[in-house]
Amino acid sequence: MQCSEDAGRANQGTEGGAIMKYLSLPLTRIHEALVQKRVTPLQLVQEALCLAKEDTCHCFEILFEEDALAFAASLKEPEKENLLWGIPYAAKNNFAVKGVEVNGSSRILQGYHPLYNATVIKKLSASKAILIGMTSMDELALGGAGVSLLSGPIYNPYDPRHERMIGGSSAGSAAAVSAGIVPFALGSDTGDSVRKPASYGGVIGLKPTWGRISRYGLYPFAPSMDTVGFFARYVEDAAIVLEALSGRDERDFSSSKEKVDPYFLQCKTPLSQPRVLVIDDIVNGVKDKMVRESFERALHQMTEDGVEVAHVSFSRKSFSRDLKLLYPIYLVLSSAEAVSNDACLDGIKYGIDVDAENYRDLMRKARSAGFGKEAKRRFVLGAFAMSKEYHETVYMTAARIRHRIASTLNDLLIQYDFIIAPTSPSIAPRFDYPKKSLEENNNPADHHLILGNLAGLPSISLPLGYEEGMPFGINVMGRAFDESRLLSFALAFEKRSGLCSEYYGKKERQ
Amino acid sequence: MYTFAMNPILERDILGYEDSLLLSVDETQRKELADECDALAHIFANAKGPISEEPMFFPFDVEQDTLREDIAVAPLSREEVLCNAPKTQEGQIKVPKVVR
């Protein structure tokens, strides 16, 4: 690849004469190279921008070439204790970045320049991490196919034929990390929008506890479930980023006052006899033989390593029925919240420019032209759920079942440390895969990630295996604000599976 | 268990939601949405078993400090306020008439 060779020539002689792809390394090793001045932030950003411009997967909606290079050039003396110093990263196109266009991959926000920075952007800037661009996504996070309304489908870097998705809505961020363009990228997760693309893209996707990271500046979709998450290639990198982003923010009342643990340090502390639970009602929905066998093999390895693995089946109990309702519950609750959160997008204060005789016509024209089909679908479903006729029977029923689900999960997590399952029942689908109707869409294996959003629990997807050259993952969900133990378990799994380093060996061979 | 006589969701119902949302969908999508809303109505009407739980609106309690002290900060400049408006005139956001 020309880009990397050029970057490599710039870095030649820094690691025994070999051409290095620094951006593929763990953050600690990149940081070591920066501190020892074997590489500079400017060289890293040049490499990242070069890869981003050569990218054919449509990872980015916009690149901040000038600003990123200028910021990188200004960083001269490495901060030895700051593991994010000089590290390039990307952010999903729904985080406010002052002075640049951030349009949520929607026509209705085309031309919109936020007047402030999201808290997570401010924190990463203060850590001297360097934002190189905003990544493509499903419009306003309302979708899971990984198709931007503005730039089209975001392709899976593992599929050179560009037939398979990486999933959404945080598609571009997942692809940017999967393709080795940046070591980490921000996303947002309301139903599975970080964890599922992570599985399809062969990377780590972490959705922390609801409220762990400030959502100030994240364009809202469904605030009772929206969580800032991110992608990384190594569990330690996830711990570093989580530690940098976590904490109470007075600008976001939903952000938690729970203390922020030293995740990077604590993730290296092994757990003593962790107990994990497998919910058979979920796993039995996985029909793909390779995914199923890989998961069983992982359970066997865990048992060998002293993990207590238990299975439970809810059979005819209410939780079994609730698991089949996960998708409609999520659809109703999230769509109802989206209706009010996106009501401010009216074509008057900002965004798309249309003409009309009166304000109602103007707003209707702007919203009709500005939103895509999937966004309109969610808004109409939300209006239906909140209508006088159906509010009690649809919306409130969904909210009650949500409470029941959350109570059941929290009860299970008293006795067990983690609940695990294959992240997705298959590898990344093709873009033209046949869509299921609502009634058919009741396989818990497809939708169990929603559990983490309904109950606000932390959840991480880790690479598990490959089929037909495409990756798939395993998901681990823990107790609220127990990210230290979750990451510790994840780190042990990563070391056992060897998949992170194996990925880089595989990509190098391609 | 909730039981009630359900009328099917019709395309005219979807038109009503479009009016309240101030947006329009095409005819094909209107038909799809009528079917989908109907399906949701049936799914939740048939959600079996007594549901004794109160509705959950947030996963955890949210502490609100609405009575914090005022902090004086510089306001946005006029240029900043106007920079995103599709139409401006004489230093103000231009909007259509409300009253004819």
Query: What amino acid is encoded at A139 in this protein?
Result: E
Cα R_g (chain A), whole angstroms: 22
Chain A residues with beta carbon closer than 8 angstroms to that of B59: 210, 224-225, 406, 454-457, 480
Chain B residues with beta carbon closer than 8 angstroms to that of A387: 17
Do residues A39 and A29 make contact, with C-beta atoms less than 8 angstroms apart?
A: no
- Among the partner residues B47, B55, B96, nearest to A403 by beta-carbon distance: B55
A193 an active-site residue?
A: yes
Chain B residues with beta carbon closer than 8 angstroms to that of A257: 63
Sign of the C-alpha dihedral, residues A316, A461, A409, A383? negative
Nearest chain A CA: its distance from B28 CA (Å): 11
Residue A82 three-state SS: coil
Among residues A344, A350, A354, A368, the alpha carbon closest in space to that of B96 is found at A354
Chain B residues with beta carbon closer than 8 angstroms to that of A349: 84-85, 93
Give the pLDDT mean for B85-96. 90
The strand pair at A459-467 and A227-232 is best described as unpaired
Neighbours of B79 (CB within 10 A): 8
Neighbours of A420 (CB within 10 A): 26
- Among the partner residues B2, B20, B36, nearest to A383 by beta-carbon distance: B20
Which pLDDT value is given to residue A349?
Answer: 84
Whether residue A328 and residue B44 make contact (CB cut-off 8 A), yes or no, is yes
Whether residue A361 and residue B87 make contact (CB cut-off 8 A), yes or no, is no
Please give the Cα distance from A366 to A345 (Å, whole number): 9
Nearest chain A CA: its distance from B90 CA (Å): 15
Nearest chain B CA: its distance from A199 CA (Å): 25
Burial B35-56 (b: 16+ CB within 10 A, else e): bbbbbbbebbbebeeebeeebb
The strand pair at A227-232 and A184-189 is best described as antiparallel
- Among the partner residues A112, A253, A351, nearest to B62 by beta-carbon distance: A253
Which pLDDT value is given to residue B70?
Answer: 85
Whether residue B37 and residue A384 make contact (CB cut-off 8 A), yes or no, is yes
Higher per-residue pLDDT: B9 or A149: A149
Which one from A4, A105, A127, A169 is the annotated catalytic residue?
Answer: A169
Residue with tokens 């309301």: A190
- Long-range contact list for B6-12, CB < 8 A, 24+ apart? B6/B41, B6/B42, B6/B45, B8/B34, B8/B38, B9/A384, B9/B34, B9/B35, B9/B37, B9/B38, B9/B41, B10/B34
Residue A252 three-state SS: strand
Helix ranges, A325-396 (H):
326-341, 359-370, 373-385
Do residues A241 and A182 make contact, with C-beta atoms less than 8 angstroms apart?
A: no
Whether residue A404 and residue B100 make contact (CB cut-off 8 A), yes or no, is no
Interface residue of A384, A390, A454 to substitute, partner B, most B CBs within 10 Å = A384
Whether residue B17 and residue A384 make contact (CB cut-off 8 A), yes or no, is yes
Task: Give residues 183 to 242 of A whose Cβ lies within 8 Å of B.
Answer: 210-211, 224-225
Which pLDDT value is given to residue A19?
Answer: 37
Whether residue B98 and residue A111 make contact (CB cut-off 8 A), yes or no, is no
pLDDT band at B3 (very low <50, low <70, confident <90, very high): very low
- Note the Cα A55 to chain centre separation in Å: 20
> E-assigned strands of A83-181?
88-92, 130-135, 147-148, 152-153
Q: Which two tokens stand for residue A276?
A: 């994990």
Residue A232 three-state SS: strand
List, in sequence order, every residue forming a beta bridge with A95; answer none if it has no partner.
Answer: A218
- Helix (H) and strand (E) counts for chain A? 20, 13
Q: Average pLDDT across each block of 10 residues of chain A; the chain has 510 residues. List them in order.
A: 44 38 93 96 96 96 97 98 98 97 95 96 98 98 95 97 97 97 97 98 98 98 98 98 96 94 97 97 97 98 97 89 96 98 91 88 95 98 96 96 97 98 97 90 96 98 96 98 98 89 47
- How many CA atoms within 13 Å lie on the side-chain side of A118? 27
Which pLDDT value is given to residue B97?
Answer: 79
Neighbours of B71 (CB within 10 A): 6
Whether residue A438 and residue B40 make contact (CB cut-off 8 A), yes or no, is yes
Higher per-residue pLDDT: B1 or A438: A438
> E-assigned strands of A86-161?
88-92, 130-135, 147-148, 152-153
Task: Return all residues near A4 (Cβ < 8 A) that are at least 6 apart.
Answer: A19, A21, A47, A50, A51
Greatest alpha-carbon span in chain A = 72
Which pLDDT value is given to residue A468?
Answer: 95
Q: Give the helix/strand (H/E) hosting A63.
A: strand A60-63
Ramachandran region, residue B50 (left: φ > 0; alpha: ψ -120 to 50; beta: rest) = beta
List, in sequence order, every residue forming a beta bridge with A186; answer none if it has no partner.
Answer: A91, A230
Angle at Cα A187 formed by Cα A204 and Cα A324, nearest 5°?
Answer: 75
Residue A303 three-state SS: helix
Among residues A42, A25, A122, the alpha carbon closest in space to that of A76 is found at A42
Instruction: Tell whether A344 is within 8 A of chain B (Cβ).
Output: no
Sign of the C-alpha dihedral, residues A13, A17, A20, A26? negative
Which pLDDT value is given to residue A460?
Answer: 98
Phi, psi of A362 (to 5 degrees): -60, -50
Whether residue B44 and residue A438 make contact (CB cut-off 8 A), yes or no, is no
